[in-house]
Amino acid sequence: MSEVIQDLSLEDVIGDRFGRYSKYIIQERALPDVRDGLKPVQRRILYAMYDSGNTYDKNFRKSAKTVGDVIGQYHPHGDTSVYDAMVRLSQDWKLRHVLIEMHGNNGSIDNDPAAAMRYTEAKLSQISEELVRDINKDTVPFMPNYDDTTKEPMVLPARLPNLLINGSTGISAGYATDIPPHNLAEVIQATLKYIDNPDITVSQLMRYVKGPDFPTGAIIQGVDGIKKAYETGKGKIVVRSTVDVETLRNGRKELVVTEIPYEVNKSSLVKKIDELRADKKVDGILEVRDETDRTGLRIAIELKKDVNHEAVANYLYKNTDLQVSYSFNMVAISDGRPKLMGIREIIDSYLNHQVDVVTKRTQYDLNQAESRMHIVEGLMKALSILDEVIQLIRNSKNKKDAKENLIEKYEFTEAQAEAIVMLQLYRLTNTDIVQLQNEHDELKAIIDKLRHILDNHDALLAVIKEELTEIRKKFKTERRSVIEAEISEIKIDKEVMVPSENVILSVTRHGYIKRTSLRSFNASGVEEIGVKDGDSLLKYIDTNTLDTALVFTNKGRYLFIPVHKLADIKWKDLGQHVSQIVPLEDDEFVIDAYCENDFKPDAYYIIATRNGMIKKSNVSMFKTTRYNKPLVAMKVKENDAVIDIMRISDEQTLTVLTHKGMSLTYPSEELSDTGLRAAGVKSINLKAEDYVVLTQIVAPENTILMATHRGALKRIDYRVLQLAKRAQRGITLLKELKGNPHRIVAACVIQPDDTSYTIFSTNQQESGLIKDIHLTEQYTNGSFVVDVDEFGEINNLVVE
């Protein structure tokens, strides 16, 4: 043998070899044929079982025997791949109508493996008989098997549209297919309508084929997706589990899942739901139980008392395979190549196949009938001259001589002469002559009928319709999947995701925020909060994990922070800076914080700036769904800054204090409700070089404490204030001095239960009792409490 070395480029070799491989797995492995809906391995399994007599009306046979037959004669691949394909054909949660009946463990919806092939037994199902029926009547082309020892069918006769009824799934090189199962009665009815009217539209076909009909039932949503898939071959639907609500004896409710989406692993689904419960991703689930038994699938999700079962179900639809998307990708082999097909094309291809099968079968039956007719006519002729025929045969030397004499003397054909010499003596009775005449008449009628079918296309279609109608009557079942026109919107209720817990939210002046359990807060006390040196508590709020914190900054922006997203940190620990949650600008800092529960439009936020601007906005405007960056609460000019935030639920009185000691008091109804991006209106008419120090709600039971830059404190009663209109100059609170007049640097509204004050400088603080600061009249500067030369410049005042 001579050695031949070819000099080829690697690119050409790889391209050629992979091209051949791709062509093979596309055509001969992964994709179904549009005519019989089967992949090659499935076709070979069914044919091997049929050929060996392993049919539904016989006893079961060991699966290993079938696998051996398939490998030995038709499918030169591993026994595992053949057995796996065989098992799938027997699983009633994968196929709408199983093609193989199997005794023994054939797997489960939990994706448990089937028992080994040596343990299980199988035979063709009754409906499989309709796929292989008439295969021995030259109805389909055969080809040599892989070792040329026998032949195998290239396609099965398929008396029912199996591709749509049982669907198919597969992945090959560059192509994939996902064709869902359908209801047999609906598909056949649509096929019959297509025969009557080849121009029927997809919309008209959908009167009969409502949509997929999964063996696992469940609810299909999205008629538009079904229609698109039936038109183009591609479309998307939602498949949702069937979930009922049952009430237990103890008053608790449980969600009971009785049907799950197609090809969802039940055990993995149960495990996922239980993990969500254990990880507290969803609050309200007490226990998850798989109660599936021989009567049917059942998953029980027991809920805690007073839990919104619809909200829990919606969360599970969103976050588990209790609801999945199913994408149609109806690719099948048509005319030897992969093709994306709509429902009309699939039905049309199937009908063309049936026309071909019925034509070939009719021709085969006609040939058989004509051959028999020829023999019967010869026998009848022989019986009419029986004595002469017998005498001729007796005088012949042997069988061959007898045949030749019959042909020569009486003009019988070879086939007729063979039948005459093989005739048994008992057939020479008078009764048999009558039977031959009857058979002749019957054969004549059959031949006329078969010729009519071959000559008349409508008659041939009538045969197909009759056979399809017969199959529909025999195998039809009720639809299992319910179809809903629209895809339901899933609304996730926050209460379901987050366990409800009362907590303390705290914010420091330097912007550190945290949530703390009541246990940690009560064990430490307010004074023991963990803060950095130079920092102090700005505010702490009793709130709930279901609430949302609104943290306002000096730039007129706010941070939308769900409380449950804050880390649970001990009261004595520092917490995290707000800029780690939402990025802030370098010169931006926190000035106040509030917590909202439901954002109902029954309250307002009033925002006031240093330069005397003010606005009022409804609480409902502050709700948002995207909160990964600061949001605008008020449009603020570059040289201005927000200094105060107030939340009001009814009309209140506002008071404004300025640096130069001016005060303006007016009702909040002077402010109209504006949007978040508005700049607001003028609150007070400021003098030159003056600015606002305080804008707050004030009531008759309040007093106001002011700190001046010279270290004096002044406290006035509510009666000193004079109610006026917005945007006026206001009244003067301080006594004017020619040299170094007092200027207000900080102020607070004192509530009836406040008892102490603290003033701050850059490096120290001084505290005292509010009662020691006597109420004064309008034109006074108060009394000195610190020496600013020693204490430092006052920058804050706090009362508590």
Q: Establish if 253 belongs to a structural domain.
A: yes
The answer to whether the CB of 430 falls within 8 A of the CB of 374 is: no
Count the residues in the chain.
800
DSSP class of residue 516 equals E
How many domains is the chain partitioned into structurally? 3
CA angle 453, 455, 459 (to 5 degrees): 35
Domain closes at, from 106, 128, 157? 157
Residue of 35, 18, 16, 39 whose CA lies nearest to 27: 39
Residue 440 in domain = yes
Q: Are 131 and 184 spatial neighbours (Cβ–Cβ below 8 Å)?
A: no
CATH number of domain containing 401: 1.10.268.10
Q: Are residues 255 and 305 in the same domain?
A: yes
CA distance linking residue 799 with residue 717, whole number of Å: 16
Confidence (pLDDT) at 1: 65
Domain boundary (287, 321, 355) is at 321
Q: 316 with 407, same domain?
A: no
C-alpha separations of 18 from 21, 119, 174, 334 in Å: 5, 39, 12, 22
Helix H, strand E, coil C: the string for 673-725 is ECCCCCCCEECCCCCCCCCEEEEEEECCCCEEEEEECCCEEEEEEHHHCCECC
Q: How far is CA 63 from CA 38, 99, 108, in A?
A: 20, 14, 18
Selecting among 119, 315, 426, 594, the annotated active-site residue is 119
Are residues 306 and 388 part of one domain? no
What's the confidence (pLDDT) of residue 43? 96
How confident is the model at residue 371, as a pLDDT?
94
Q: Is 119 a catalytic residue?
A: yes
Q: What is the pLDDT of residue 625?
A: 79
Question: Does the CA dihedral 67-70-71-77 come out positive or negative?
Answer: negative
Three-class secondary structure of residue 31 per DSSP: coil
Helix (H) or strand (E) holding 371: helix 343-384
Task: Report strand pairing: 253-259 vs 557-562.
Answer: unpaired
Q: Angle 435-438-439 (CA atoms, 0-180°, nearest 5)?
A: 85
Q: Distance between CA atoms of 22 and 19, rounded to whole angstroms?
A: 5
- Read off the CATH number of the domain in which 95 is found: 3.90.199.10
Q: Which contiguous run of DSSP H or E holds residue 769?
A: strand 765-769
At 497 the pLDDT is: 66
Take residue 721 and report the two structure tokens written for it: 């204030």
Which residue, 472, 464, 536, 462, is CA-closest to 506?
Answer: 536
Structure tokens at 365: 């039956």
Spans in the chain with pLDDT lower than 50:
none
Residues 307 and 395 in one domain: no
**Gap between the Cα atoms of 307 and 300, Å rounded:** 15
Structural domain boundaries enclosing 299 = 242-321
530 is a domain residue? no
Q: Which two tokens stand for residue 710?
A: 């010279």
Other CB atoms within 10 Å distance of the CB of residue 625: 5
pLDDT digits (tens, 9 = 90+) for 193-213: 999 999 999 999 999 999 999
Same domain, 371 and 450: yes
Could you tell me the two tokens for 356? 């071909």
Angle (deg, nearest 10), helices 386-394 and 343-384: 80
State how far the Cα of 234 lies from the Cα of 228, in Å rounded to an integer.
7
354: which 2 tokens?
A: 């049936």
pLDDT of residue 505: 93
Same domain? 47 vs 147:
yes
Give domain status of residue 303, yes or no.
yes
Q: How far is CA 604 from CA 315, 610, 647, 648, 671, in A?
A: 32, 20, 6, 5, 11
**Identity of residue 235:** G
Same domain? For 297 and 397 the reply is no
Contact in structure between 321 and 307 (CB atoms under 8 Å): no
Residue 149 in domain: yes
Q: What type of residue sits at position 458?
A: D
Helix (H) or strand (E) holding 194: helix 184-196
Same domain, 368 and 312: no
Question: Do 172 and 30 contact (CB within 8 A), yes or no?
Answer: yes
691 vs 504: CA distance, rounded Å: 34
Is 98 among the domain residues? yes
* Residue 99 included in any domain: yes
3-state secondary structure of 461: helix
57 and 153 together in one domain: yes
Q: Are residues 317 and 367 in the same domain?
A: no
Pairing of strands 653-658, 662-667: antiparallel
Alpha helices in 385-429 (DSSP H): 386-394, 399-410, 414-421
| b/e sequence 589-605, b meaning 16+ C-beta within 10 Å | bbbbbbbbeebeeeebb
234-240 and 176-179 beta bridge pairing: unpaired
Residue 707 in any domain: the answer is no
Neighbouring CB atoms inside 10 A of 18's CB total: 11
570-587 b/e (C-beta count within 10 Å ≥ 16 → b): bbeeebeebbebbebeee
Beta-strand pair 548-553/557-562: antiparallel
Domain termination residue (choose one: 321, 353, 378): 321
CA 266 to chain CA centroid, Å, is: 16
Q: Are residues 314 and 404 in the same domain?
A: no
Neighbours of 519 (CB within 10 A): 10
C-alpha neighbours within 13 Å on the C-beta side of residue 256: 13
Write the CB contacts of 348 (distance below 8 Å, at least 6 apart in sequence): 194, 198
**Same structural domain, 54 and 153:** yes
pLDDT of residue 620: 92
Backbone φ and ψ of 83, nearest 5°? -65, -40
Alpha carbon separation from 67 to 24, 71, 479, 637 (Å, rounded): 22, 6, 33, 82
